[in-house]
Amino acid sequence: MTLLFALLLGIAYPLAMTGIGQAVFPSQANGSLVMQDGKAVGSTIVGQAFTSDRYFQTRPSAAGEGYDGLASSGSNLGPTSQVLADRVKADVQSHQAAAPGRPVPSDLVTTSASGLDPDISPEAAFYQIERIARARGLKAGEIRRLVERQIERPIFGFIGEPRVNVFELNRRLDGVSAKPSR
């Protein structure tokens, strides 16, 4: 029985699920990679760090050295952690320097549970528009319309939260003003 169940659940079942995943959802099963000129340039389901003022920036990452898919995890820093408080305070000050007088959306200074979240809230995207408009020499209204088109709504209107995929948004942004520098 042990050998039978080991073969059934350890080999046959995983192979069947892998085959079904590849047949029914090939893009998702292969990491939702985005290809450009035959080369993988990113993934729509794994966050990537964008540090240039010309791009929308993601949430901070606690995964390894930042957005390391092999080290997916939270920071495990609790609410009384001075390290966490200092990092959040520094991040808030950095964002406020770019947009004085405006409250910083919480998802721009807090990490996700996996450390690999590819999405930000629409508020976090709108917060960054002025900085990007200045860096790219574009009108803020043009970037705002781009963000509004990229907002993903909750499934059936109530499952999940409105969100913006930062990678996809930045790809569209490069289409508006083609001078990418990551």
pLDDT, tens digit (0-9, with 9 covering 90-100), for 82-99: 999 999 999 999 999 888
The residue-averaged pLDDT of 44-70 equals 85
Domain regions of the chain by residue span: 44-178
Residue 136 in this model has a pLDDT that exceeds 70:
yes
Classify 32 in phi/psi space as left (phi over 0), alpha (psi -120 to 50) or beta: left
CA angle 151, 75, 58 (to 5 degrees): 25
Question: What does the mean pLDDT of the chain come to?
Answer: 89
Torsions phi, psi of 63, nearest 5? Answer: -85, 105
Confidence at residue 79, expressed as pLDDT on a 0 to 100 scale: 87
The residue-averaged pLDDT of 100-123 equals 90
Confidence at residue 116, expressed as pLDDT on a 0 to 100 scale: 86
- In the numeric block, the tokens 């709504």 are attached to 153
Going by pLDDT thresholds of 50, 70 and 90, the confidence category of residue 101 is confident
Would you give the end-to-end CA distance of the chain in angstroms?
55
Query: d(Cα 47, Cα 118) in Å, to the nearest integer?
Result: 4
Confidence at residue 143, expressed as pLDDT on a 0 to 100 scale: 96
pLDDT, tens digit (0-9, with 9 covering 90-100), for 158-174: 999 999 999 999 999 99
pLDDT, tens digit (0-9, with 9 covering 90-100), for 5-17: 999 999 999 999 9
Residue 69 in this model has a pLDDT that exceeds 80:
no
Global model pTM greater than 0.85: no
Which structure tokens are listed for 12? 């046959």
Percent of the chain with pLDDT over 70: 97
> What's CA 86's distance to the chain center, in Å?
23
Going by pLDDT thresholds of 50, 70 and 90, the confidence category of residue 73 is confident
